[in-house]
Structures are given as C-alpha cells and as structure tokens.
Structure 1
C-alpha cells in the first residue's frame, strides 16, 4: 500500500490523540451516574447501528461494479435509495412520532438487514429493492434514534446541556472510531481474507441484529404527539406549518439539506475522483482515514460545545466556508495539473492533493453532526420532531437524485463545483440563523405584553 496513505492516517491519528489527551476541566462537564448509565446504553446501541451502516459504505459502489454495472446503472441504484428515503421518509418519521420511536428503531434494524441480504443477488431488480429498503432505513437512522434520545433525555429530567455531551460522543464513536474500525474490518474481510465484496454486508447484518436485541431488552417507548386522534395528514400539516411559521426551523432545514446533499454526493464521487482511470485503491483504508478525520472534527466540536463562549450558530459559518473550499480542490488541482489518461500504479500528485482536501471536508462533517443535533434540539418542537426532521430530507434527496441522474452528463469537477456552491450558500444561511437566533426573546416579550393588554378588560 502507498506510504502516503499511512502518513495521512498516522498524522490524523496523532492529532486526534493529542486533542483527546490534552482536554482540561474546561472541556469536560460533571454529570450524574444515572445520566452516564443512560448515555452509555445509547452510545452502545448507536455505535452498533452505525457499524452496520459504515461497513456497507465503502463497498456499495465497488460491489455494483463487480456485478458488471456501469456508472449510469449504479447512479440509478443510488437514486432508488435516495428516492425511497424522500417518498417514505416523512411517512415513517410521522409513524415514529405517533406509534413510538423505539418501534421505529427496531424497524430500522429489520429493514437494513433485509437490504443487506439483497446484496447477495446480482439481479438488478433485487438490488433495486435493497436500495429502496436501505433508503427507508436511512430515514429512520437519522431521525428516530435522535428523537428517541431527546425525548427520553427530557423525560428523565437530565440537564439540557448534557445533550451536547451525548451528541458529541455519539459522533466521536459512531461516526469516528466505529467507522474507522468498520473500514479496516471491511478491508480485512474483502482484501486480506478474500471473502468478496458482499462479506461486509453480512457482517453489518450481525451488528444490526445485536443492536436490535439491546433495544428490545433495555429501551422504553416514547412518543411525539400524545394525541391519538391525529392522523398522518394532520401530522404532516402540523410539521409544515411549524417550518413555514418559524424562520429558524426553515433555515435549519435548508442548511441541513445543503450540507448533507453535498456530503452524500461526495460519498458517490470520491471513489472515481481518486481513481480516475480505475486504479486499484484501498477503499477500506481510505474510508477509515476519512472517518479518522471526522473523528478529529467531532473532538473539536465537543470542546467548542463545552464552552458557553462558543456559539454553535457562530462557528458553523466557518465550518461551512472551509468545507466549501475543500471541495474546490479537485477543480483547482485538475486546472493546475493536466489529468493523466493512463492508468497509474501509484497515487498521483493530484490524487494526494484531493485526498488531503477530502480529509478536511470529513473533519467539517465531524463538526457538523453534533452541532446540527444541538441546534435541532433547540429549535424543533418535540411533538413532531421525527416528522420535521424527515421533511428536511426531502430537498436533500431531490438534490442528490438530480445529481446522480445526471452523473454521466457532467464531469466530476462540475459536480464538486456545485457542491461547493451549495456549501457557500449554507454559510450565508447560517449567518442569517445566527442573526435571528436571539430575536424570539424580543418577539415573545412583545406578544406576551400584547396578550396581557388584551386580557386587562376581563380582569376589571
């Protein structure tokens, strides 16, 4: 394997270790033993769920190529996943609020296990079914678990600030350490043990089954809207009204869609970007390197959120600007160095520059997740949390589907350019969110005074 890969991985590992070991009392928060037990249970389950997801990530594109499908056909399979997430995501989110978040989390495990099983078939229709199931599961992963956590945290009376600890730890472990181990484990299964590209999907099924067993045995049920009389259409309308009537929620949804849309497009593009002439690259090891960079970002986020002087709404502007600049590197490097059309045995200078830029982007992803979770816990109403969170994913999935549908029509540099533009837009929207984030206090004071004035004749 290229020495460059080891140097990048080792350098990132050293920085993460230094950050974690250098934490002071200012970077830590004292919590109760009851909260620690609750937090550790959730982190165990979340880590298992993310292990099931991350084991598949590096090998989805590769598996489809092994089955003989071209980039266009693979793009359609990805579209099926994002399309099903868009079509069914809001429905399953509303069902989670109404029927229970614990049930929704169990449903995620079942749907994703079935999706993994379909990977054994080279038939296009069965793989398409697997993508549909995977899209439904993804909607639940990024809404039901967080909704259950926030509701259960509040129900047990823990301090609101402690949510940030769970969020940052979840990203550090689930989106960092577990993802690194999953990438290396997948590389072991596929390359070292030569079990084939479907082996990681079988391993993912095992982790999902273990996590489901823990959920069934240790989690209690909680709900969003306590009204049993509300049907799905009423829940949709309520969520839509909440988004339309509160600019902060609308801005948060737009920011999330722009960033995640760019992130998921990057997931599809990084493999062909680093192997433009279909060079053999260590997918699992590179993926583990990206996750180590994400781990670095989550470590920085935990420090920032532990200090009251650092506002999430403020520092996220910088994060979006840096992430936009990092995805411009493939364009800049291809402009400065003419891309080779010959298959190379080693990574090129352009590839090195791009890999470093991608690591910076992944570090921004690591900061984004706990930060957006904290903002969602502040701005989204509890009664329709899962529904609203899946509403946010509708424009995200539309954007990704459009990009993937036209994946053969535009060069990769154009795709990265579009992602960079969207991230710059997210930066400006984050600026707007910061400006209006303090306004509710003034508005609430004025409205309450108006109500008091209206009520005065009744008290005479």
Structure 2
C-alpha cells in the first residue's frame, strides 16, 4: 500500500502538470494579468487567504487518526464528526450576516483566532474539550467560506474600482492554488507526523503559526468593510422563496445535498478503510487532492471551445463515477475480502468526480439562481446536505457493522 500511494501521487501530479501546461499555452493573457495595481491587490489577498487554506488542509489527513490515537471508539469518533457538521450548518446559516455586521476584516482575524483554539484543543484527550474543538472548527469553516470572499469582492469593486469581470479570474486562480496547497499540505502532514515521528497531533500544532500569520497580515494590511444593510431574515426569506418557487433551483439543491453528503461520509470513512493496511495517510490525502485537481483540469478542457461539452453532462458523469466507485467499495471492503488497493482506486475516482462536480455545480448555480438570492439559497442548500451527512454518521455510530459495510447503504 505504501508504494501504491507514492506511485499514484507521482502519476497524478504528472498528469495534472501536463494538462495545466497545455492549458497555459493555449490561454491568451487577459487585461487583468497585465494590470500592476490589480496584481498587487491580488497578492495582498492571496497571501492571507492561502495561509488560511494551507492551515485548513494541513489538519485534514490526520484528524480521524488523532482520535483513534487517543483510543476513542469508532462510534465516539463519528459523534465528533457529527458535532463538527452540526456546528458548520448552524454557524453557516448566520455566517454571512455576522460577517457583514462585524466587518469582513475582523471576521478574518476572528477566523484565525477560533481556528487556532480549535487546533489547541487537539492537544487534549478529554472528550468534552474535543467536542468544543469541533464546534469551534465549524465556526471557523463557516468564516473561511464567507469572510474572505466577501472582503475581496467589496474591496475589488467599491474601494479599487476594478471591473467586476475580473473577479472570476481571481477566484479561478485561487481554486487552482487551493488544490495545489492541499497536495502540499498532505505531504507536509506526512513529514511532521510520520517521517519526523511527531505523531498525529503534529499537523494541528503546525497549523497554528500559519493561522497566526494570516490573522496578523489581515490586521496590518487589509482595510475594513461592512454591509450592515443586508438583514439575516431578509436574506434567508428571499432564498427560501426562490428555492420553493423555482423547480430548477429545488432540483439543484437536491442534487447538491445527495452528492455532497456522500462526500462528507467518504471523508470520515477513508482513514479506517486504508489505515489498517499501512497507508501513509498524508500521501494518500495528497493523492486524493491530485485526483480532484485532475478532474478540475479535465472539466476545463471538456468545456473549452474545442470540445463544447455542457456542465450538466459533466455533472451527470461525476454522479455515475461516484456510483461506480461505491459499487467497487462494497466488494473491496467486504469482511474477509478486503482489497486496500482497489479501495484506494475507488476513493481516487470519487475525488476525480469531485473535480468534475464542483465547477459544474458552480456554473449551474450561477445560471439558475438569481445573483441577489444566491447567499440565501446556498444557506438553505447546506441544511439538508449536512443533515444527511450527520444522519449517515449517526447510523454508523449506532451500528455494530464494520465501517466498510456503510458503502452498501
């Protein structure tokens, strides 16, 4: 399993590099790429945002392993994950309004503080303190996916008066580097936890300086902005009306809830499936992120002028790939017939499908959901998504079956 993980990572990175280089040769430079003021503004945003993302990804490979290292049972670990998901959905509902009222810069600094405390709780073996840490993690995740983007969009348009058409260029580049940072974070987690022998808590400790630096840079270099006119009840009410009045929006929300809840359960299950077979967890995680990056590159190529494939077709393909992967996992995780390599390949296919799914879903949301209602609609989308994931983990918690049998559900 050790050799398979390293070989898979090398092959996937080579494939991603080849596709990205071919894409760079074919893509002409935009006006945004030639504007020095815009590039400096992007750099001010990226240096804080990328530190925050790197700290977030650094914790992912060894979370389950840490709880296992503290000798918690699988059901207890499932409850910890449920607490994190429940916290994310509760704070996610109010995060946008909280960020607008408190201030986007202050919210980014608050993110660095709460996530640092979340990492510190991992040093304790007390179950209640770990539950508090998961709740803080939910708040931090909600802030990460609302405060930074809101701050950038306001500064881009209101303070610097750059064309709104340049905003997608910033977030497209951020999406690519988000994957690259995830790959690097997996390797870094493996280095500090396994190669240096510091144990599964080491990646969480290593994330704290990154979070502190992100908070300091935001505090010193960023200006503050607010939007206190956008009321929470009005945002959620408008989103709910849009969701219930348009069948396409409701269908899109159903697809998101079903697909992404499976992904959340996969995040819980991959470690107990592969770890008993000696898998290097950080390298496995980097392989997953490389597969996701490969899927994103394939999406870009498939929707280019050369091939003209529609995002709906790629979304359907992603769903089919996940169904096939789960079918593989029902056999590769069967008691007495475990095949870790086959399970690893199935997990890679799930991540490849995610690389196709997320840009497809993002495109369809922009097409179907009115821009003014997107924040409210996305808040409602997250509720069934996290509830389904919590339900799946609670079923696992209350079951005497092995972890792998969950793939048959």
* Deviation, structure 1 residue 71: 0.2
SS at 1:105 equivalent:
helix
1:149: Cα distance to partner?
4.2
Measure the CA separation in 1 of the matches of 2:104 and 2:176: 23
Partner of 1:416: 407
Aligned to 1:193: 196
Shift of 1:63: 0.8
Q: Distance in 2 between matches of 1:178 and 1:97?
A: 28
Alpha-carbon distance change, 102 to 314 in structure 1, aligned in 2, over 3 angstroms: farther
Give the alignment partner of residue 393 of structure 2, picking from 398, 401, 404: 404
Gap regions ≥5 residues in structure 1: 341-347, 419-460
State the match for 1:17 in structure 2.
17
Match of 2:136 among 133, 137, 147: 133
Q: Do the aligned partners of residues 284 and 193 (structure 1) sit closer, same or farther apart at CA in structure 2, a change above 3 Å counting? A: same
Contact 2:235 2:375 in 1 (8 A): no
Once the two structures are TM-superposed, the CA of residue 69 in structure 1 deviates from its matched residue by: 0.5
Deviation at 1:247, TM superposition (A): 3.6
SS at match of 2:396: coil
Q: Judge conservation of contact 1:109–1:208 (CA < 8 Å) in 2.
A: yes
Matched residue of 1:194: which SS?
Answer: coil
Tell me the residue number matched to 1:316. Answer: 315
- Quote the offset at 1:128 in angstroms: 0.5
**CA distance in structure 2 between the aligned counterparts of 1:163 and 1:269, rounded to whole angstroms:** 36
Shift, 1:289, TM fit: 1.1
5+ unaligned residues in a row in structure 2: which ranges? none
8 A contact 1:151–1:382 mirrored in 2: no
Which of residues 276, 282, 289 is equivalent to 1:284?
Answer: 282
Conservation of the 8 A alpha-carbon contact between 2:100 and 2:226: yes
Match of 1:363 in 2: 352
1:135/1:405 Cα in 2 relative to 1: closer, same or farther (>3 Å)? same
Q: Name the stretch that deviates more: 17-26 or 355-364.
A: 17-26
Q: How does 1:156-175 map to 2 (within 5 A)?
A: 156-160=161-165, 162-174=166-178
Distance 2:375 2:112 in 1: 17
Q: Deviation per CA, 1:123-154: give whole Å up to 9, x if none.
A: 01100000011111122223333444455555
**For 1:406, what is the secondary structure of its paired residue?**
helix
Shift of residue 353 of structure 1?
Answer: 1.5
Give every structure 1 segment of 4 or more consecutive aligned residues whose post-TM-superposition deviation is greater than 6 Å.
Answer: none
Whether 1:299 and 2:303 are equivalent positions in the alignment is no
Native 8 Å contact 2:239 2:375 kept in 1: no
Q: Give the match for residue 336 of structure 2.
A: 339
Separation (CA, whole Å) in 1 of partners of 2:408 and 2:225: 43
- Mapped partners of 2:367, 2:118: distance in 1: 34
Q: Matched residues in 2 for 1:190 and 1:363: separation? A: 26
Name which of structure 1's ranges 304-313 and 78-87 shifts more when overlaid on structure 2. 304-313
1:69 aligns with 2:72: yes
Q: In terms of mean alpha carbon deviation, does 383-392 or 293-302 score higher?
A: 383-392
C-alpha displacement at 1:261, in angstroms? 1.2
Q: Call closer, same or farther: CA 1:318–1:373 in 2, change over 3 Å.
A: same
Q: Which moved more, 1:320-329 or 1:303-312?
A: 303-312
Q: CA deviation at 1:388?
A: 3.6
C-alpha distance in structure 1 between counterparts of 2:38 and 2:14, whole Å: 31
Q: TM-score, normalised by structure 2?
A: 0.87
Partner of 1:217: 220
Aligned ranges 1:214-253 → 2 under 5 Å: 214-223=217-226, 226=229, 230=231, 232-253=232-253
Tell me which structure has the larger Cα radius of gyration. Answer: 1
2:364 and 2:3 mapped to 1: Cα distance?
40
Q: For the residues of structure 2 that align with 1:393 and 1:369, how far apart are their CA atoms? A: 14
Conserved? CA contact 2:333–2:343, under 8 Å: no
Are the aligned partners of 2:83 and 2:134 in contact in 1 as well (CA < 8 Å)? yes
Give 1:87's aligned residue: 90
For the aligned residue pairs, the C-alpha RMSD in angstroms reads 2.8
Deviates more, 1:188-197 or 1:94-103: 94-103
Q: Is 1:274 the equivalent of 2:264?
A: no
Does structure 1 conserve the Cα–Cα contact (< 8 Å) formed by 2:314 and 2:356? no
Q: Deviations over 1:317-369 (max 9, x none)?
A: 2222223322321124457xx735xxxxxxx7x21112112112112222333
Q: Kindly tell me: are residues 31 and 351 of structure 1, through their superposed partners in 2, closer, same or farther at Cα, counting changes over 3 Å?
A: farther
In structure 2, how many angstroms separate the alpha carbons of the residues matched to 1:138 and 1:384? 22
Q: Which moved more, 1:209-218 or 1:61-70?
A: 209-218
Match runs of 1:4-83 below 5 Å: 4-23=4-23, 26-28=26-28, 30-32=30-32, 33=35, 34-83=37-86
2:260 maps to what in 1? Answer: 260
- Tell me, yes or no, if the aligned pair for 2:5 and 2:280 is still in contact at 8 Å: no
CA distance in 2 between partners of 1:265 and 1:352 (Å): 20
